[in-house]
Amino acid sequence: MIRKIFLLFSLTVFGGVTAVAQLTNTTVATSEAGQPLKPKLVVGIVIDQMRWDYLYRYKQLYSSSGFKRLLNEGFSCDNTFIPYTPTYTAPGHTCIYTGSVPAIHGIVANNWYDKSRNANVYCTEDSTVTTVGNKSDAGKMSPENLWATTITDELRLSTNFKSKVIGIAIKDRGAILPAGHSANAAYWYDDKGGKWITSTYYMPSLPQWVKEFNQKDMVADYMSKEWNTLLPIEKYDQSSVDNKLYENPIAGETTVTFPHKLGIKGIAKYASFRTTPYANTFTFDFAKKAIENEKLGSNTVTDFLTVSISATDYIGHSFGPNSIEIEDTYLRLDKDIADFLQYLDEKLGKGNYLTFLTADHGVAHVPAFLAEYKIPGGIFSDTDFAKEINLALEAKFGIKNLVQSVQNYQVYLNFAEIEKQEKDRAAIVNEVIKLLKQKPYVINAFETDKIAAATLPEPQKQMMTNGYNSKRSGDIQFTFRPGYFDGFNKGTTHGLWNPYDAHIPLLFFGWNIKQGNTKRETYMTDIAATVAALLQIQMPNGCVGKVITEVTK
């Protein structure tokens, strides 16, 4: 009897060990129905400066395999909004992956003024690390300024750091912030030589596969071509004519019309490359090499690849959202996405990977374009604001340079100097507010730490509250009429609460995602929470988002 029990126990243990061995020798465990219990790979795709309406504005010209495939086979959240201001690249990428807001995660903008250092701070700067990949300073970057965890960090934590996480983008902040603190790698582009680089925060030297990719000097090949329209130019009837004085040429060019001659000589071509759609193709090509060489999706647990598409932002800033350039860029991006999805199908298998596609912000129309159609809009200069206010304060209170900075639609005041000079702080603040309100396009101005008492409509009040961080934000916030922004006579920008900046696309596709859409209002902060629910892992530690339950059903 004892021998039978022992034999049964041995068989049970051996069977269990065999099952475990089989499980660890496969890529991802499957359910009884043959569906993977977890995706092999999660791919987060962020399109820098993609307005929500681009999904539908150019839909007639999209192929069936890119944006249309994501819409027709995936789940679309049609009313997704950014829940904070300012709507810039760094906080946008951070919010997507942390599910948090600047008040909590600390990335209040691309740049901010640090009063303790009396200097401007760039969101990912880190003087304690050095560049890996060349001798420039472009690699002195890390996620050091980010206070919260990301969904990529939480994935690593959930698998005891067995999951691989890699971030890729032309922009350093688009690669670093999504990849989080514990990433295996983040790679970004350096203008000095047109190469992919990283920093010593991640590794002491580039992997051999990255070195080999860089040696091809693909950017030089791209910049030896011209950028002409993908389709006959008369097909671009969703755009303005191809010669507007309010457009900015690509650096090195003298014209804003097609074809764009990209035969730019010397090292300058590497910087100009950012403002071409070829930079998007280049990014996806590098992402494929990362999947292949790092064996992403071949793990015993889920891996995560973050990809940010940056050229859309550079092109959008220069030419505006009603340009043939931006329409052509999105038609080319559609082809890139179709190609990348097909690659993932072949490499990992349909249904074995989870993808979401979204944007870090939208963009405003060029004010000069609006003026052509009698629509209000305009520009002003933060620099001029600062000079004007400083002169007025000096004349009235006898202190020079009380305004340390005007940026992110906020004024930073030198309160230390005010106290030292024993001046009336409240009187100076009130004078600045009065000066701001005298501008015809400024609607309101108030102290940032008194947002709760400010007379503001929703969603402005909530968005500005979410964007206010006592350690990094300015002292006075100002708001103005729709269509106005801090900018120049040519090109356009973003950063405000308005729907043109804050309404973004959000699509889920692939593993465990059923086709559908919701018109319910959802938020950028909900993305990390939803991915966490799908993967059955903890939300990031600063997450304020809610699970989009329609996606997880």
Cα–Cα distance measured from residue 517 to residue 530, given in angstroms and rounded to the nearest whole number: 15
Cα–Cα distance measured from residue 355 to residue 531, given in angstroms and rounded to the nearest whole number: 10
Q: What are phi and psi of 446, to 5 degrees?
A: -160, 160
Cα–Cα distance measured from residue 186 to residue 168, given in angstroms and rounded to the nearest whole number: 6
Q: Quote the DSSP letter at residue 434.
A: H
Q: In 31-171, which ranges are continuous DSSP H helix?
A: 54-57, 67-73, 89-98, 102-105, 151-158
Q: Render 513-529 in DSSP notation, one character per residue.
A: --SEEEEEEEETTHHHH
Task: Say which of 27, 80, 89, 281 is annotated catalytic.
Answer: 89
Q: Quote the DSSP letter at residue 81.
A: E
Angle, in degrees to the nearest 10, between helices 278-293 and 208-215: 150
Cα–Cα distance measured from residue 529 to residue 502, given in angstroms and rounded to the nearest whole number: 19
Helices first, then strands: H and E counts in the chain: 21, 21
Asked if residue 98 lies in contact with residue 150, where contact means CB atoms within 8 angstroms, the answer is: yes
Burial class (CB in 10 A: 0-12, 13-18, 19+), 198: buried
Asked if residue 127 lies in contact with residue 109, where contact means CB atoms within 8 angstroms, the answer is: no
Query: Is 312 a residue of the active site?
Result: no
CA distances (Å), origin 544, targets 92, 113, 439, 524, 540: 15, 26, 36, 10, 9
Angle, in degrees to the nearest 10, between helices 324-348 and 278-293: 10
C-alpha angle 507/350/536, rounded to 5°?
60
Asked if residue 495 lies in contact with residue 358, where contact means CB atoms within 8 angstroms, the answer is: no
Cα–Cα distance measured from residue 441 to residue 454, given in angstroms and rounded to the nearest whole number: 18
Q: Residue 524: how many CA atoms within 13 Å on its side-chain side?
A: 33
Cα–Cα distance measured from residue 81 to residue 359, given in angstroms and rounded to the nearest whole number: 10
List active site positions. 89
